[in-house]
Structure 1
Amino acid sequence: MRRIIGLSFFLMLLSLNACTLLQRHDPLNINVVGIEPLASQELEMRFAVKLRLQNPNDIAIDYNGVALDLEVNGRTLASGVSDQASTIARFSETVLSVPVSISAFSVLRQTLGLSQTQRLDNLPYVLKGKLAGGLFGTVRFVDRGTLDLPSSTANW
Structure 2
Amino acid sequence: MRSLHAVLISLLLCLGACSSLPNRDPLKINVVGVDPLQGEGMEVRFAVRIRVQNPNDYTLTYSGVALDLDINGQPFASGVTDVQGTIGRFSDTIVTVPVSVSAFSVIRQTYGISQMKTLNNMPYVLRGKLSGGVFNTMRFVDSGTLNLPGPTTGSR
Q: TM-score range by the shorter chain?
A: 0.7 to 0.9
Structure 2 CA distance for partners of 1:114 and 1:4, relative to 1, 3 Å: closer
* Identity between Structure 1 and Structure 2 (%): 54
Q: Which amino acid aligns with 1:73?
A: N
Q: Residue in 2 aligned with 1:29? A: 28
Q: Residue in 2 aligned with 1:84? A: 83
Structure 2 CA distance for partners of 1:152 and 1:7, relative to 1, 3 Å: closer
Whether 2:117 is the aligned partner of 1:118: answer: yes
The superposition leaves residues 98-152 of structure 1 with CA deviations (integer Å, 9 ceiling, x where unpaired) of 0001111110000111122232111101011111122221111111111111111
Q: Which amino acid aligns with 1:19?
A: S
Structure 2 CA distance for partners of 1:5 and 1:30, relative to 1, 3 Å: same
Counterparts of 2:144 and 2:10, CA distance in 1: 49
Cα deviation, residue 30, structure 1: 0.7
Cα deviation, residue 2, structure 1: 10
Secondary structure, in 3 states, of the residue corresponding to 2:115?
Answer: helix
Secondary structure, in 3 states, of the residue corresponding to 1:117?
Answer: coil
Counterparts of 2:112 and 2:154, CA distance in 1: 25
Structure 2 CA distance for partners of 1:92 and 1:6, relative to 1, 3 Å: same
Superposition RMSD on alpha carbons, in Å?
A: 2.5
Secondary structure, in 3 states, of the residue corresponding to 1:18?
Answer: helix
Q: Residue in 2 aligned with 1:52? A: 51
Whether 2:67 is the aligned partner of 1:68: answer: yes
Counterparts of 1:44 and 1:141, CA distance in 2: 26
Which segment drifts farther, 32-41 or 120-129?
32-41
Q: Which amino acid aligns with 2:80?
A: V
Counterparts of 1:73 and 1:3, CA distance in 2: 55
Counterparts of 2:35 and 2:147, CA distance in 1: 19
Q: Residue in 1 aligned with 2:97? A: 98
Note the residue ranges of structure 1 that are not aligned, 5 or more in a row: none
Counterparts of 2:99 and 2:90, CA distance in 1: 28
Aligned length: 155
